[in-house]
Structure 1
Amino acid sequence: MSRLILILGDQLTPDIAALKEADKATDTIVMAEVADEATYVRHHPKKIALIFAAMRKFAARLRGDGWDVRYTELDDTANSGSIPGELLRRAEETGATEVLATEPGEWRLIQALHDAPLKVIQLEDTRFVASHKEFDDWARGRKALRMEYFYREMRRKTGLLMAGTDPAGGKWNYDHDNRKPAPDSVDYGGPMQFTPDATTEAVLDLVEARFGNSFGNLRPFHYATDAEEARRQLTHWIKHALPKFGDFQDAMLDGNRFLYHSVISPYIHLGLLDPLEVCQAAEEAWREGAAPLNAVEGFIRQIIGWREYVRGIYYREGPGYTRRNALNHQRKLPDFYWTADTDMRCVAKTVEQTRDEAYAHHIQRLMVTGNFALLAGIDPSEVHEWYLAVYLDAFEWVEAPNVIGMSQFADGGVIASKPYVSSGSYIDRMSDHCGHCAYSVKAKTGKNACPFNLLYWNFLIRHRERFSKNPRMGQMYATWDRMKDDRKETVLREAEAFLDRMGKGERV
């Protein structure tokens, strides 16, 4: 019996679940660049180009291995525009009545495959350390689903950085050592840059023609588009940047967009790099004395800890997760998230970088653009859609928990024990942005006061009933209560005036 084997753009792994169950002699692989997937949010052109180029190269690899691959390019005249439509078209061509698919990383597409007028068998994606069942078994009965405890289970399961039953070095977590402020200089030139080959150039021309008006600069394009290039970037980063990654992973610099970050998350999410192999390579660097434990542990925690954890949350919480709004925030996303037209230096630099690179590291996302959106009361669904659109590594299973849960506290505390809010002092401590800003981070009130300072207190007072009894936030409210009444009034009045100007579209 002939079957169709669906391979999606983030499933570019030779042993993906659907391929492992396929028969090369009788089954047909279906891959498709379709408008539905390219336009359901305003994806950054670099993101579309990366996925399409990697898909085309993976399809060529499968053909070289002897598979029958039916590949639909975006500008094919027969392109139906959707994944279910392409499955139906290929079923008519081949006579297949059954589809094997690896479970997509988005509820929207899971439902679309479920509703397709074909028998579609969705197999769980086995590229993760924890299965759905394992995560649910761990979560069942717990009052709080904290990543740290789940991470320890993943360490035990994989054996990574373990000394028998104990963690290497005697501690599970070295995050305390990984919070150094921005260095004066960075002796790493950033991720490897790859010159586009003919396949990638053809994709760039296509994307430029179809999505040239979308947010983000398509060219220059230097990202890896196949497994070999992705492995070269990993090796390059481990040798040249991993040793200092831990120390400065939270730092931000006006003139350096990458610092010591690996920028390999897009390659892991697409399937070009195996997450366990990545972790093992980093661990080997530590065992050989080429990288310190705090750097390697912090990196591995991001992959087998945080990445695995948010995936578990996404599937456990269900299709309605992205619509949650526990704090009832209703303001529209400001235009400067698309234009960078703001006097807030940290926000402008992060948006500019996002526009140019389709990349920003986790602190830029959490404590700059995410922090501002939370303080300002932006509708979390709009914040979620922005993050999903603009970043190379944004696939809903990983993006939504990071934004809805961690960044915006819109899930009411499923992920975070408190909202991740801060005044301008945190950004000043971890970056050099404030020294070049039109606002003064030292000013708490007045015309030049940093908006983060004003909005911080405005947020806390707006949500005092919810958070005042949170043991991690009590000191903040105690500080507010010690302020003089006239200062309190000034802070809240100036915060509301700022939000009013922002809401009217004035430059802020």
Structure 2
Amino acid sequence: MKTLIPVFGDQLSHELSSLAGQYKNSCIVLMVEVDEETGYVPHHKSKIAYILSAMRHHAEDLRRAGWTVDYVGLTDAENSGSFTGEVARAIERHKVSALRVTEAGEWRVKAMLDSWPDRFDVQVTILPDDRFLCTHAEFERWAKDRKQLRMEYFYRDMRRKSGLLMNADAPEGGQWNFDTENRKPAKRDLVMPEPLHFAPDDITQGVLKMVEERFAGNIGKTAKFGFAVTREDALKQQKHFLDHALPNFGDYQDAMLTGKPFLWHSILSPYINSGLLDPLELCRAVEEKYQAGKVPINAAEGFIRQIIGWREYVRGIYWSAGPEYVDSNALAAHRPLPAFYWTGETDMHCLSQAIGQTIEFSYAHHIQRLMVTGNFALLAGLDPKAVHEWYLAVYADAYEWVELPNSLGMSQFADGGVLASKPYAASGAYINRMSDYCSHCRYDVKQRVGSKACPFNALYWEFIARNKDKLRKNPRMAMPYRNWDRMTEADKVALRDQAQQFLETLG
């Protein structure tokens, strides 16, 4: 009996459940590049190039390990353009009698896999994706009967389950969360490690050429493409982060500096989400650095929380919320996405920095996403589905299961508080506190009205005012509404007029 094993672009791991326990000489691994994946949103050129190059390198790696790999390129003449079409062709081509696949990472792909038993006259086996710490069933049990699904309590359970940074039944360092120590603004005179840059080899150069030709109209540049596209190089980037950036990651993980896109961040999320790196293995390596006295507890805990806490939590939210989650719009926001999200051309320096580096590298760190591009979208009332599709398109680490809850729930509060306990709304003061952006901007962060006033300031109060019926009863929003109530009617009118005048320029 010959078995066909489809492997997707977010399953680039030798430890995949569909490969486990199989005899290599009776299996065909199928890997395909298809239009339905490269085109369902207008992906950043570097994102497409990263995924396709990593897939092609992974296929070679599997072959070296003894697997037979059938690889269909995007420009192959007979390519049907869809996963299902390519599986159908492969079943006929190889005369297989069984299909074995690891479960999908996204709802639209799950729907496709669920159609295969009826579509194909072969045995179809869909296996759990065991590369995650928390199973779907475990998350459902955790979430059942809870009024609020707060990440902090989920995270503590994942610490207990994994044993990471645990001292018997107690958290290492005497507390679960050291986030209050991780909010320092960075200064330019600090020594910042640059992430490794991997020169494109022949395979990657071929992909880059094809992407520039086939996706010429897509956002992004590839001139500085330097992603690792093999597990070997991804591990080199991992070691570089652990040795050089992790010690200061905790202190400065929320910091932003003009012209400094990477600071002390790991730049490992594309490799974790595509499968080149194992998340639990990475967390163990971080823990070892702490235990060896080479990194402080706030750095180790802060990083591990992002992986086994936040990453696992948003996956649970994504699958428990259902495919209709994408249409959530609790704040009734409908303004179209401004053109500068695609060009970076705006006088607001913080936005031009965050979007500019996104265009150049297909990367921005979490605070730039949440408190700059996301905060502006929230304050301006941009359509949350359009915001979600932008994030999904532009970042190399963006797969819907991880991106959608982050953008729709955390950033835009469009789910009404399922994921976040309050909207992450802030005036220009927050950006000024955590960055040097405001000192380079034509707007004055200290002014609320007038031609030089920072747009974030009036937009913040406009957001507070227009959403009062939905947000005033939220206990975490009590202070902003007390401050709003203290203002004179003249000040309220001036702020809302200032905001409306600015919003009219976005059209």
TM-score by length of 2: 0.98
Q: Which residue pairs with 1:400 in the alignment?
A: 404
User: Which whole-Å CA distance do the structure 1 matches of 2:315 and 2:190 have between them?
Assistant: 33
Letter in structure 1 aligned against 2:418 = V
Which residue, 424, 438, 443 being the options, matches 2:447?
Answer: 443
- Partner residue in 2 for 1:506: none
- Deviation beyond 6 Å, 4+ runs, structure 1: none
Cα distance in 2 for residues equivalent to 1:339 and 1:260:
26
Partner of 2:306: 302
**Is this contact kept in 1: 2:259–2:353, CA < 8 A?**
no
* Paired amino acid for 1:84: T
CA deviations on 1:219-256 (whole Å, 9 max, x unpaired) are 22111001110111111111111111100000000021
Q: 2:380 aligns with which of 371, 376, 383?
A: 376
Separation (CA, whole Å) in 2 of partners of 1:13 and 1:96: 23
User: Does the Cα contact within 8 Å between 1:114 and 1:120 map onto a contact in 2?
Assistant: no
Cα distance, 1:281 vs. partner?
A: 0.7
Matches within 5 A, 1:421-436: 421-436=425-440
Please give the root-mean-square deviation of Cα atoms over the aligned residues, in Å: 1.0
How much has 1:188 moved relative to structure 2? 2.4
> Which of 350, 369, 373 is matched with 2:354 structurally?
350
Would the aligned equivalents of 1:186 and 1:259 in 2 still touch at CA under 8 Å? no
Q: Which shows bigger deviation, 163-172 or 178-187?
A: 178-187
1:279 and 1:303 in contact (8 A); partners too? yes
Change (3 A) 1:186 1:32: farther
The 1-side partners of 2:407 and 2:480 are apart by 23
For the residue of structure 2 that corresponds to 1:466, the secondary structure is helix
Alignment correspondent of 1:386: 390
- The residue type paired with residue 405 of structure 2 is P
Greater shift after overlay, 92-101 or 130-139? 92-101
Secondary structure at 2:25 match in 1? coil
Return the offset for 1:113: 2.3
> Letter of the aligned partner of 1:202 in structure 2?
G
**C-alpha distance in 2 between matches for 1:109 and 1:155:** 30
Partner in structure 2 of residue 221 of structure 1: 225
- Shift in Å, 1:92: 0.6
Cα distance, 1:182 vs. partner? 2.3
Matched-pair contact (CA < 8 Å) for 1:183–1:248 = no
Q: Which residue of 1 aligns with 2:260?
A: 256
Match of 2:78 in 1: 78
- Post-superposition shift, 1:446? 1.2
Matched residue, 1:314: 318
Look up the match of 1:328: 332
Shift of 1:211: 1.2
Task: Tell me the SS of whatever aligns to 2:69.
Answer: strand
Q: How many angstroms apart in 1 are the aligned matches of 2:156 and 2:40?
A: 37
Q: Is the 8 A contact 2:375 2:411 kept in 1?
A: yes
SS class of match (1:127): coil
2:19 is equivalent to residue 15 of structure 1: no
TM-score of the superposed pair, with normalisation by structure 1:
0.98
For residues 374 and 108 of structure 1, what CA distance do their matches in structure 2 show?
26
Match in the other structure for 1:133: 137
Residue 21 of structure 1, CA deviation:
4.9
Letter paired with 2:110 = I
After TM superposition, the structure 1 stretch with the greater mean CA deviation from structure 2, 163-172 or 204-213, is 204-213
Q: Equivalents in 1 of 2:201, 2:495: separation in Å? A: 55
Unmatched 5+ stretches in structure 2: none
Q: For residue 18 of structure 2, give the secondary structure of its aligned residue in structure 1.
A: helix
CA drift of 1:134 comes to: 0.7
Asked if the contact 2:246/2:264 (under 8 Å) is kept, the reply is yes
- Counterpart secondary structure, 2:354: helix
Separation in 1, partners of 2:439, 2:81: 49
Mapped to 1, the partners of 2:209 and 2:338 lie a distance apart of 31
